[in-house]
Each structure stands twice: as structure tokens, then as C-alpha cells.
Amino acid sequence: MSRVHVVTDGNAQLNHKLAQELDITVVPLSVQIGDEVYQDTDGSRNEELLARMERERERPVIVGPTVADFKKVYQKLTRTTDYILSIHSSAPLSPIWRNARAAADTFLGRCDIEVMDSQSTSIGLGILAREAAKLAQTGLGLGEVVRDIRGMISHIYVVMFTDSLDYLERSGHITKSQCILGTMLGIKPFLAIEGGEIIPMEKVRSREKGLDKLVEFAGEFTDIKEMAILQSVSYPTDETSLLRERLAGFFPDTSFPILVYGAVLASHIGPDGLGLVTYESLQKRRIP
């Protein structure tokens, strides 16, 4: 029986060398901002994109991978495998999953393609793609890999806060009146991704209070496998240096990499978000 092959999209923050070692196919994102359309497989333009969004207040649009893009990828892979797990960015946040699903439907009877909604983004998606590929390398069948990855989805958490109420309003997460009032009062929404949706959970009145909420959220875990900081620049700021210091109080033996979030998340929350992605140990649960 041929081995399961894993496909993901360029929104997955996944080390390029590791993706090659695990034989993961990364289909590039196509991002439009203003009159420019560019492709991205590794997030190398994320920082540039967020800086442009800050200057111009332009909202990026995910225009691909298209159905045709996915068809080309699946057609090539069918030469070497009969089983594909195609795992993608949260379906409510972009058209990527829907395009992959439409492409996979054209291969019915020729190849068994499971298109999975990760219900996540950024490194959350990258973790799931990475773990799926590792499971595939052990020789597990498609159904077994899908089962195990579905079990992991509920152990990945994304929380953030942002100053950009205009982006939240344009992406439909808050109303225009909430945007106007929140901007006047200096309110910053504290957001979580739940079931793939961005959900405003609470309101904070300053970035300092937002930072406190991130730390409070991290303190609810008893055991984690990974935790990463999402922000708009690739270097530690005073804010993220303090966040790292406070997180180390809970998890002293854990590193907290800083990652620049990409176009899918940026199109919803804007260019000045700060957040955490947490991959919880599968053996532990959060404190009630």
C-alpha cells in the first residue's frame, strides 16, 4: 500500500527544511494587496505585508491556492500515492479549504483524498501538518492519520488582542458601531479562534492589560508541548521580551519563538496583533 502524502498551504508556518524531510507538499498562498498579487510558501513576506498594512490600511485578500492549483498538485501526487491528507487553514478565515475540497472531488474513484479543516492558522496549522506527516511515515493508513490529527485539533489554542478595530469591522467580526465606539474608548478586543472562527472574548483597555490576559491564559495550562508568540515583527520588542519573561514563570524549560503572523490572520485582525499559539500536551487538560 502506498504511503499517505500530506499537503498543506503556505499559511502553515513550517520550517522549509523540515517540510522537505517529511515530504510535505506546501501549496503557495496567493495574496492580493492593493494592485499587487504575490505568492508565498514560507511566510518570508509576512513582515513586509504587515508593515504595508500599517502604512496604507489596506486589507489583503487570499485569492489562492485556487481549485486549479490544487488539481495540479493532486494530479502530480497521484503518480506516487493513492492516499492524500490535505490539511488547510481554518475554513471560515479563507477560501483555501473550499478550493481544496472542490479540487479533491474531481479525483473521486482515482485517489482517496481527505481534505481537513485544521480550524487553526499559522503555526497551529504547521504543527498539524508536521504531526500528520510523522504519522504517515510510520506507515499508518489514511483513516488512522485522520483520526489522530482530529484528536490533536482540540489541543491547539490561538488567542490574540489587536488595536485594529477597522480590520475587525471590515472582516465582519464586529459591527461598525462597535468599531467607532471601541476606537473612541480605546478598547482592544481579546480574541480566540474557536471551531475555526475568530471570537471576541473580552475587552481590554490597554496593551498592558492585553498582555496580562495572554499571561493569564497561559497560566491555565498544566503541561504544554509548544507555545509560540505571534506578532507583526520578527524581533523581540520590549512587550514580547516581557511576555517571554512572564511565560517562563509557568514553563521555565520552554522556549517561546516569535513568529510573524501571515496574510490569512492579518486580513481579519490587522497589522498590530499580539498573541499566543499553544499546543497542549495530549495527556493533560487545562485547569478548570
Specify the CATH architecture of the domain 5-28+65-153: 3-Layer(aba) Sandwich (3.40)
- Can you give the pLDDT at residue 1? 55
Q: What is the pTM of this model?
A: 0.93
CATH class of domain segment(s) 156-280: alpha beta
- Can you give the pLDDT at residue 187? 76
83 Cβ neighbours under 8 A, 6+ residues apart:
1, 2, 3, 4, 5, 111, 112, 141, 142
Written as nine digits, the cell of 106 is 474531481
Coil, strand or helix: which one is 116?
A: strand
d(CA 68, CA 73): 9
Q: What is the mean pLDDT of the chain?
A: 92
Q: What is the pLDDT of residues 17-59, one digit of tens each?
A: 999 999 999 999 999 999 999 999 889 999 999 999 999 999 9
Sign of the Cα torsion 32, 35, 40, 43 reads negative
Instruction: Judge whether residue 287 has pLDDT over 50.
Output: no
Q: What is the pLDDT of residues 69-79, one digit of tens each?
A: 999 999 999 99
Residue 273 · residue 232 · CB < 8 Å: yes
Across-strand partners of 8?
Answer: 26
Q: What is the pLDDT of residues 104-144, one digit of tens each?
A: 999 998 999 999 999 999 999 999 999 999 999 999 999 99
241: left (phi over 0), alpha (psi -120 to 50) or beta: alpha
Give the CA distances from residue 234 to residues 52, 160, 230, 260, 270, in Å, rounded to whole numbers and listed in that order.
15, 17, 9, 6, 16
Give the CA distances from residue 25 to residues 74, 103, 120, in Å, rounded to whole numbers and listed in that order.
10, 16, 18
Under the banding of pLDDT at 50, 70 and 90, the label for residue 288 is: very low
Across residues 238-258, what is the average pLDDT? 95
The domain locations on the chain are 5-28+65-153, 156-280
Share above pLDDT 70 across residues of the chain, in percent, rounded to a whole number? 94
Range from 77-86, 109-118, 156-165 carrying the lowest mean pLDDT: 156-165
Instruction: Judge whether residue 283 has pLDDT over 90.
Output: no
